[in-house]
Amino acid sequence: MKEAIDMTDEYSLFKERIYRMLGVNLNLYKEAQMKRRLTSLKRKRGFSSFATYYKALKDNEQLLNEFVDRLTINVSEFYRNPKRWAVLQQKIFPELLKDKQKLSIWSAACSTGEEPYSLALMLTEHFPDADVHILATDIDENAIQKANDGIYQANALKGLPKIMKTKYFTKNNSLYHIDQDIKRMVTFKKHDLLRDAYPMNIDLLVCRNVLIYFTDEAKHMIYQKISNALSHQGILFVGSTEQIFNPMQYNLSVVDTFFYEKYVNHP
């Protein structure tokens, strides 16, 4: 029992130290899930305690980058959940472009870039006259660097329509390099959904497969900020396990499965 209590205290101290060092509040992540993930990582690197692991993180940039990477679970692919992307192409984009040709899009927690590049590919292929700015953000600087490189393994492209794979990628050995014109459509920046200011007047905000890792308190805070960031009738696109059970509290209404529209209450 004493060992269990000590381990709990040790992890609590580790969370405090990480917050002071990185500004990342681990209390806003689901406890059991995050603790299990980080315990596995520290053991893998040969550390018996969170105290020794923290000391190593302070002194070793490579270990620190790996730690941040583990927080964000960078698993992605082009056109992830293709049926939802079909809805985006056939319903959401036509509605958004009905009254305007200029769109502001934010791909939040974009990981290694597959999602924002998917948006750029779809718009280029199907809505070439649209004037679009795509902002893509993530907390992980390593992921952002990979996204800027725009080089992918074949398995990341498995959900992509074949015509796009042929038209917009150059194969070099086993790797696929994305077209430079597509790359120029996307601006990548570091951003922490829990701490940083959100961009405003966003017409389409894509935030998928990240909120499942946060506590209910953190999710509520993020949804409030997302709602504030959206333009009137702006669209939020979430992941397949991230349905919002009471969207009205965030001034959102369902327009399709995993798509929500911002509305403004009038007095």
- How far is C-alpha 115 from the chain's CA centre? 8
Per-domain residue ranges of the chain? 2-72, 82-262
Helix (H, G, I), strand (E, B) or coil at 259: strand
- Specify the CATH architecture of the domain 82-262: 3-Layer(aba) Sandwich (3.40)
What is the full DSSP assignment across 193-208? TTTSPPPSSEEEEEE-
DSSP, residue by residue, 149-217: HTEEEGGGGTTS-HHHHHHHEEEETTEEEEPHHHHTTEEEEE--TTTSPPPSSEEEEEE-SSGGGB-HH
pLDDT at 27: 80
pLDDT at position 7 is 55
Give the model's pLDDT for residue 267: 39
pLDDT digits (tens), the chain, 267 positions: 344 445 568 888 998 898 888 777 788 777 888 888 888 888 889 998 999 999 999 889 888 878 877 776 555 789 988 899 999 999 999 999 998 889 999 999 998 999 999 999 999 999 999 999 999 999 888 889 999 999 998 989 988 888 899 999 999 988 999 999 999 999 999 999 999 999 999 999 999 988 877 888 989 999 999 999 999 999 999 987 788 989 999 999 999 999 999 987 643
> Which residues is 202 bridged to in the sheet?
230
CB of 135 closer than 8 Å to CB of 102: no
**What size, in residues, is the chain?**
267
